[in-house]
């Protein structure tokens, strides 16, 4: 396998592939569909691919746990880019199928909550079974295993199907966020509209442990974008926290927060700093008073002068 390729959740025709193709660098890479998110990530860990691309969050269903768990566990990987893709489903069927013929439907588990209301209204008796991806569901419809698959309308031609109904989405403006991950390396360059991702493990179970962690961000004026708790698998009640914070690790307020976490938490995994999709530099609010790089530098210089007796 070529180490310059990008792997993604396949087969051909997934939303993941559509999102990956919006990255300019995807045009110059071999794109390799894989059977699962872990398989896509393992190819990177094994040095068989330069990057793996996967959904990490959906605006209706929340975190995509297969991807989050790949990043919180196993050999460390880092995020280098993110992509937002609006999601609207089509019901793909074999040519000639009418809505009244559809008794069984399939799609990715993350697709189901996005079409649940539509199913209740239009196919209340149809049985749902999950597929490895939406495009894999389309493949299974072609093979006759199910009557309909929820997938992107663009996948229809690949599988010899037709979109019986299009524009299906219970929540208008549903969006999925995807990430490009690679082996650990230098983070993406700072753009001024960046995000930093981390996984943090808490120490002893004691009152205020989570608050202590959050305070490392708050006192330095670092805004959190999201926080997800995931079980570590080490026993009931054992959780780690996957956190996205505004800013780049090259910024003093972010790097100081990371050092604070490193001092108080048993384990911190840095998942990278990378440009925020859909956020322009002009939309980024300026650092809170006293938390800009210049403020940190001035304070450090003042401290050095004080320590040397030069103040």
Contact with ligand PRE (CB under 6 A): which of 5, 81, 108, 276? 108
83 binds ligand PRE, rule: CB under 6 A: no
Q: Which residue, 150 or 296, is less far from ligand PRE as judged by CB?
A: 150
111 binds ligand PRE, rule: CB under 6 A: yes
Task: Map the chain to HEC letters.
Answer: CCCCCEEEECCCCCHHHHHHCCCHHHHHCCEEEECCHHHHHHHHHCCCCCEEEEEEEECCCEECHHHHHHHHCCCCCEEEEEEEEECCEEEEECCCCCHHHCCEEEECCCCHHHHHHHHHHHCCCCEEEECCCHHHHHHHHHCCCCCEEEECHHHCHHHCCEEEEEEECCCCCCEEEEEEEECCCCCCCCCCCEEEEEEEECCCCCCCHHHHHHHHHHCCCCCEEEEEEEECCCCCCCEEEEEEEECCCCCHHHHHHHHHHHHHCCEEEEEEEEECCCCCHHHCCCCCCCCCHHHHHHHHHHHHHHHHCCC
Q: What is the largest CA-CA distance in the chain?
A: 86
CB of 253 to ligand PRE, least distance (A): 32
Residues in 171-190 at the binding interface with ligand PRE, rule: CB under 6 A: 176
255 binds ligand PRE, rule: CB under 6 A: no
Q: Which residue, 175 or 279, is less far from ligand PRE as judged by CB?
A: 175
d(CA 32, CA 40): 9
Contact with ligand PRE (CB under 6 A): which of 64, 119, 149, 199? 64
7 binds ligand PRE, rule: CB under 6 A: no
Q: Which residue, 59 or 292, is less far from ligand PRE as judged by CB?
A: 59
Beta strands 148-151 and 104-107 are: parallel
Contact with ligand PRE (CB under 6 A): which of 7, 11, 14, 93? 14
9 binds ligand PRE, rule: CB under 6 A: yes
Stretch that binds ligand PRE, among 90-98, 104-112, 195-203, 272-280 (CB under 6 A): 104-112
Contact with ligand PRE (CB under 6 A): which of 40, 55, 92, 271? 55
Q: Which residue, 14 or 228, is less far from ligand PRE as judged by CB?
A: 14
Stretch that binds ligand PRE, among 14-22, 220-228, 234-242, 269-277 (CB under 6 A): 14-22
* Contact code string over 219-238 relative to ligand PRE, x by CB under 6 A: --------------------
Taking the alpha carbons of 54, 56, 62, 63 in that order, is the dihedral positive or negative? positive
Q: Which two tokens stand for residue 64?
A: 């995509």
158 binds ligand PRE, rule: CB under 6 A: no
Contact with ligand PRE (CB under 6 A): which of 133, 158, 197, 291? 133
Contact with ligand PRE (CB under 6 A): which of 15, 41, 159, 217? 15
Point out which residues bind ligand PRE (CB under 6 A): 9, 14-16, 55, 58, 64, 87, 108, 110-111, 133-135, 176
């Amino acid at each position: 396998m070529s180490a310059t390729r990008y792997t993604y959740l396949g087969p051909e025709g997934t939303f993941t592939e559509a999102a990956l193709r919006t990255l300019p660098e995807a045009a110059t890479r071999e794109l390799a569909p894989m059977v699962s998110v872990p398989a896509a990530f393992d190819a990177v860990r094994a040095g068989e691919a330069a990057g793996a691309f996967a959904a990490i969050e959906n605006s209706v269903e929340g975190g995509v746990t297969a991807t989050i768990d790949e990043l919180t566990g196993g050999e460390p990987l880092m995020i280098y880019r993110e992509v937002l893709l609006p999601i609207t489903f089509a019901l793909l069927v074999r040519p000639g199928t009418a809505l009244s013929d559809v008794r069984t439907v399939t799609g990715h588990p993350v697709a189901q909550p996005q079409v649940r209301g539509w199913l209740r209204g239009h196919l209340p008796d149809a049985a749902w079974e999950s597929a490895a991806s939406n495009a894999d569901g389309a493949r299974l419809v072609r093979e006759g295993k199910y009557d309909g698959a929820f997938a992107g309308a663009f996948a229809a031609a690949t599988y010899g199907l037709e979109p019986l109904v299009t524009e299906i989405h219970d929540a208008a403006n549903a969006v999925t966020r995807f990430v490009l991950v690679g082996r650990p390396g230098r983070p993406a360059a700072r753009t001024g509209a960046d995000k930093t991702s981390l996984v943090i493990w808490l120490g002893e179970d004691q009152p205020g442990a989570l608050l202590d962690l959050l305070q490392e961000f708050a006192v330095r004026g670092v805004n959190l974008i999201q926080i997800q708790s995931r079980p570590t698998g080490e026993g009931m009640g054992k959780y780690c926290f996957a956190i996205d914070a505004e800013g780049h690790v090259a910024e003093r307020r972010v790097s100081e927060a990371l050092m604070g976490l490193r001092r108080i938490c048993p384990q911190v995994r840095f998942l990278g700093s990378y440009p925020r999709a859909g956020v322009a530099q002009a939309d980024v609010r300026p650092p809170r008073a006293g938390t800009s790089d210049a403020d940190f530098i001035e304070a450090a210089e003042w401290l050095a002068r004080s320590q040397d007796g030069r103040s």
